[in-house]
Structures are given as C-alpha cells and as structure tokens.
Structure 1
Amino acid sequence: MKRLPLFLFLLLGLCAGMISCQKELSYEVSKIPSQGTLQKDGSGDCLPKTVVGTYEEGVGLSGTANYLEVEVNVLTAGSYVIASDTVNGIFFRATGIFTTTGLQTIKLPGSGTPFAAGIHNFVVSYGTSQCVVAVTTLPPGGGVPAEMTLDGAPGNCIDYVLNGSYITGTALNSSNQVVIKVNVTTPGTYNISTPVSNGITFAGAGTVSTTGPQTITLTGSGTPLITGATNIPVTVGASSCSFEVNITGPAVYTINCGSAVVSGTYVSGEELDNSHDVEITVNVTTPGGYNITGTINGMTFSATGNFSNTGNQPVTLSASGIPTAAGDFNVPLNAGTAACTFPVTVDQGAATFGTWAFTAGGINYSGTIELSLMDVTSSPTAGVCQFVGSNAAGDVMMMNLIDMNKNFTNNETYSFTSLLNNTGIFSFENAAGTISYSADPTQSTTTLSAKVTNHNTATKTITGTFAGKVMDGTNTLRDLTAGSFTVTYP
C-alpha cells in the first residue's frame, strides 16, 4: 500500500497535542451526517428485521420488490448512509436525510444476484452502530408459495411464544411478536396476516427453504381497545389455528428513583449494549401493564411488561443509544403517578473530528476522524488539509487535500493525479492488512478526485465527496464510489 510522505505524518504528530474538540454549529442539515443507532435485541439482531421479497438462487434482485426494513433511533438530524455488507452476491443500501429525530423505519433496497441457496446473515451498519438480519435464498425454481400446516390446527396453536406487552390504549410496536410452529411440506414464500381482533393484528412474510418442522414470526400492530383475553385466528392455506393475547389495563404505580442501581460504564460517543441497564424499585398499587421510558443526552432507558401483584417490585430498564456528551445527567422518568429522575455519569470518550465513508470492492467502509490539520503557512504555494480516520473494525483511512489557493472554497475540486493544480493523497488499509487502496500524483493511472461541497470557516468544518479509480495492494485499479467526509480542523 502507498504510504503518506514522512513529513505529513510528522505534521500530524505535531498537531495531535494541539487538537481540541470543535463544536459543530448550525449549517445545512443535508451537509451534516446524522447520528443515531440501529435498533437491535440483546443478541445483536436488528429489531425489527423485516425481509421483503423472494430471494432465489440465480435471480437478480429488484430494489422495489426486495428490501430490508430496519428501525433507527435518530439522535441528530442530517444525512445518512445505511448499508449491509455483501453476502452471497447481494447487498442492501439506502441513503437520504433525516429531518427529525426519534424512531424511524428505513427501507434498504437490495441489489445483486444470489449465487447460492441457504440462510445468510447480513451485517447492517449505520455509522458505528450495527445489527444483523438473516435472509433466506431459495434454490432455483423455489420462488413459489410455500405449503405448510399450522401445529394445533384446527384448534389452538401449539407451543406458540408471545413476546411484548399488551396494554389497553397503548399501540403495539416491533417488540410485539408471536412465534408459531409450522410443518412445511413444500418450500417457498409465505405472506400471513391475521384479521383484526380487538384493534390488533399480526402479520409476517418471508421464505422457508426446507421441509419439516419450523417456526415463523408474525409482528403485531394496532392498539388494543378493551381489557381481557383476545383470540387471534391464523390461517395458512387450508390450515387454521388460534392463539390468545391477554390485554391488560394500565397499572397504577410509583417509581422510586432513589433506588436506582446503574450498571455499565457510559462513555460519550460509544454505543450502549446489554451491559448497560438500570434497576429501580416500583411500588404497585394496581396490577396491570407498564411502559417506563426516559431519554436524555442520546441515551434511552426503557422497560415494558405487566405487574401481576401489588407492592414493591424491581424493574430493569434496558439502555440504548449513544451518549452525545460527557458529564452528569439526570434521566427523567415520567411514568407512574409521579415523575422522578436518577443520575447517570458519562465519561469523556476519545475526541473525534468528523466522519468518512466510501464503497470499494463491494464493501461499504465508514468511520470517524481522529486527527486533523489545516496548514496554510508552511508552504508559500499551497495549503494542506490533512485528516486520519479509523473505525471499530480497525480499518484506517488517510486523506490530504492540497489547495494551490489555500482557501478550500465551495465546489473546488482536487485531482489526485495532478502535479500542477489542486491535488491530493489517499490511503486506506483494512485491519487485517489484506485490503489496501491508494491514489496520489505518482500513480498516473488512478482517477480519484475530491470536491469540497461546503467549507464553513466559522466552525472550521469542511464537507466533501470523492470517487474514482484507486490502486489496490496488487497494483490493480479498483472503483471507489460514494466517498464522503466531514472534517473539523483546529
């Protein structure tokens, strides 16, 4: 892999001690990468993980018919790139702009052609947040409706598993699911939807690739209308069975925030996982369903369930999100009969100075920028904007933009093969050292170029794009696409 000239590393080393965190002020939301987290369960699976369409060996995907749906908790509005890795010849990717914060469902259109039947796991990435979705590819000719019978038909569904809480007047979400057992006689696709009962329904679509006993998952929607047992009928072909959902009324309780026991270490910029939670004591006066949530500083603490008894009871709040700042924070809980707060301390994480992303070799790479430098004084003829970034996987990206006018103005371009005009140097290597890309003026066959799309001198922030052909570690030209960066310099 091509290495950056030694003097550039020396400059970066000298500037490392001087770099301080720069607060990004307001500028066009479309120029700023959004921040947030993919929703997932304790095992790392995307929650929800909706797979739409039929996937058949040797049949190309259609972005309108084949796609994934994932849920994102948006903490800061701005542009986004959400993409999977490439597995079995296909991948899923979406770009756009989040204009509001909060939970949002995003559709990731699929591309490519599956080359093998089977179940394949895709890692979906959004910034540093990741989750997993399994996609089943059928053998050639398998894209036909599946034939199956429901265990328990024509009576009650046997050994079904009902997940989530069901409370009168509270809308169902992705945690409300039922897992039912089926016996598949012909592999293929299925699309199941129950009739609406007491304001709620369950639905699911997908594929089954083998015969025999299996389970399928249906996700609930709607809002329960009345309290009590609700019978939900399920029909697949000529087979029918039913399962019961117990709808509870809302519980009456008081939260004792003074009892809060906070588990885990909280660090700004680092995603929370299943090691982060808070246990609190709740005094229940009327049994029923509960939904407790508190959000602050990019962190959300939540729990849902049912209280079956009165008196003091422990409740564990699961934590999610990414703390956006270090400091002491009081998390507000407004559930129950009285509001209260509990404290959480967030430690200072490693300072970052922007983000970067690009696609090459069918793989989407992205990360944060840890070092940056703007030097317009060392050379009488050119200015240099330099930055070095990495990601959680250990990949490293380095870029230098060399501007002959020293101003890095909006819409200014940089040809990485030029020796006389604006130019640049690019270098990338993955953590294992097995993949590398580079482009600089000594490589005449590369065509990489960059463009400054916005330079905010008040916040010292440069946003740009880059694309073109780069040289890999075997001296073979490769296409680099969808390159982007946002860098704040000291």
Structure 2
Amino acid sequence: MRLVKHLLLLFAAWMMVFSCQRELDFGESIGTLSKDAGNNCFPLIAQGSFKADTALTNNNYIDVPVNVEYPGTFHIYTDTLNGYSFYQSGKISKGPKTIRLIANGQPIKKGRDHFTVHYGHSTCYFDNTVKGLEPAVYTLTGQPDSCKDFLADGSYLTNTSLTASNILLIQVNVSSEGTYAITATTKNNFNFYGEGIFTRTGIQTVVLKGTGKPVKEELTGVTVAAPGTACKCGINVLSDQAGKAVFTFDGSPGNCVNMVFNGNYYANIGMDVTNTLVMRVNVTKVGTYSVATNAANGITFSASGTFITTGPQTITLTASGTPTLSVTTAFVPNTGTVSCNFYLSILPTPPPAVFTLSGAPGNCNPATVSGIFKATKPLGPADMVTVQVNVTTAGVYNISTTTVNGFSFSGKGVFTNTGVQNVKLYANGTPQATQLTNFSFINLNPSCGFLVNVL
C-alpha cells in the first residue's frame, strides 16, 4: 500500500512539472489588433522622419496596441509599400499590450502610403506620409571666380556630338543635405547637367553629364550655376583629330606633378616672357598640340607646337595677363581630353623699388644687346638688352625705353634683394630702318643710354 502511495505521489509531481512546462511553452499567441469601426488601427501614429530616398533607422517605428487572448510567440508585420515596411516578433503574455514595429527599407517617393497590419488572422489599416527631400544648401568651391578642382573628361571636337564619356566633375561644399540640380552652360552649343541628392555634408564631387555638339574651335567658357552659387571654368574644343597629338600630363586626372614655375607672380604686376610653366607630358601619338588653361585671377597659361616623337617630354606654357588678388589660384591645362589641375600662389604686391642705372647719367655700363635686329623683321623673346642696376630698396620695378625706329625695350618684376644686379629688358615691335639706334630710359632720373645696330 505504501508503495502505491509513493507511486501516486511521484505521478502527481510529474504531472505538475509537465503541466508547468506546457504552460511555459506557449506556442503561437492568439489575439487581436486594436482598431475602430472602419478597421483602422487605433490609436496608431508612425514615429520618426520619413523622407524619400532616405534609409530608415530604428527611430522610425509604429506602436501597435494588441489584446492578447492566449500568450506565446508573435509575428506582427505590414505589407511592403513604396520600398519600406514595419515588423516585430518575439514572445508575449496575455492581456492588452503595445508592440513596437520597426521600419525597414527606404521610401522611394513622397506621398501617402496605405499599410495593412497583420497579427495572426487580425488585420487593420493605417496611413503614413513620406515627405519629399528639401533642397540642399551648398556652394560651388571657387565661387564666384574659377571653379576649384574641376575636370572636363572626354574629347571635345567641333561638329562632334558629346557622348557618355563627356562629363564635367565639379567640387561642392555641402552644409545641409537634400536635393541638388547643377547646370553648366556655354555659348558653343554644348552644356552639362546633373541632379541628385546629397546624403552627407562637406566637400564632395558632382558629375555633370554633357550634351550638344560644339561648333567652334576655341577655349570655351563654361558657367557652372546652382541656386545662389556660381563659378567659371574653360574647356578647349579642338577642330578635329587629324594631325593632332595625343598626350597626357603627369598626374592626370588628379593634381599635376613634375612641373616648374618660372618668374615671379605678384598681384597687380603683369606677366612677361619670364613667367612660364614647364610641364611633363607623355605623348602616345605625334602631331600638333594646343594647350590653354582656364582664365583665373586675371591670368592664363598657354602653349602650342608639334610633338615629333612619342614618350615622356616637356612643354612650356607662357603666362599672360595681370593677377588681381593675392590668393592661391587653381588652373586646369585643358587639351580637350583628360587633364590635371594645379595651383599657383600669387604673392602680395610689394612696394616700389629704389634703384639707379649703372652708368647714369651717361652711357649704360654695362649694356649687353642679345638677338638679331634686322629691318622689317618682328622682334621676339630672344631679342633683349641686359642692363645693370644698383638696388637700395627691394620692391617692384617697371623699366622701359623710348620707342625709336619702330621698337623699344621694357621689363618689369620685383627686386627681392638689394645690391648690384642685372635686369633683362625685352624688345617689342619691328625695326623699320637699317641704322645704329640710340635708346634712353623714360621715367628714370638719372637715365642712361645704349646703342642697338639694326641690320
């Protein structure tokens, strides 16, 4: 009898344990969604910011009220509309509960989306509004002057339609995310356009796609514009490919490398033959070339000629114009194909120099004439006179002679130190007659003179 009692007690204890285990292992819960008479989820308001083309995070969710009749696991979800949905799963106890469904995905377009929430056999509806993106706040780097770090990729030929390879890379500085639309227009029958969304702030590059057909061979000015900001750049349009060289600058398509600036670059002091830029190139096809940079801060660099051999070599670009500001200025030596960019620091305008001409007020001593001076032959960069000066105060100088027999000499620049030194003055014009021509200096007191024999 005692054995039977023990067995009954053991059986009862086992049933209690089994019953508890069954109660803990609920299975799938059963319940209903809270809703009004129109089957609308109630109350339910989506939380977070829902914007088109913006990925959703855990901050985007809906809190769904439910009444659980039988505890257990649950899967509450919506259908997927406009690129996003809501979902949550887990275990739930009996009674009224609120379940947070996290949004997933990225809304595609703005508008009102009509969702259906599912919990077992229970459904209800709610609407959620997706907003359109606000316009971004940004500026074109380099505004309102030359566009900074721009790149015109592809070939630009007269009477040849632009293709997908013709793009313009423009740098912008974004201070507020949002949509953008940037145009780049020319007066040579081709333009560029780009639109999209800035999803982050800071410096970044925008790709503008080209359309149209250039009609003139020239360095075409390009005006890049967006609401409240604009800058300018240039693209060299070539007439054709026949006879044209094919080459690239060292460093393309990034920053130009292996280059040397010659001469001095000061604000408000004009460029002369001493202001040059030597650049390394790699020629893959011989032929003629024409290189011109964008006009920036009042100056440009240009060169033309013929490559007669392939491989690495150098070209010399000559500066022209007068810098207006003491700033770092960006340039792109555009050839109509892929190029590179470089920067030049323009120094502040120094004070006027104080100096005297050696030999004044008599004959300039020494005065060395170089080049060939022949009647009716135009003078070039090799035709010059070198005079000696004694500088007592460093600074800006501008030396020129009288014009005699159809030509004159001049030179300008900056004396960076004091003492005796030589100055090269370059000839301008065309000698008219065969004679021994006597020159003196203007605006210098005392002056000196020198002779040039015209053949």
TM class by smaller structure: 0.3 to 0.5
Between 1 and 2, higher relative CO (CA 8 Å, sep ≥ 6) is seen in 1
More strand by share: 1
Normalised to the residue count of structure 2, the TM-score between the two structures is 0.36
TM-score by length of structure 1 reads 0.34
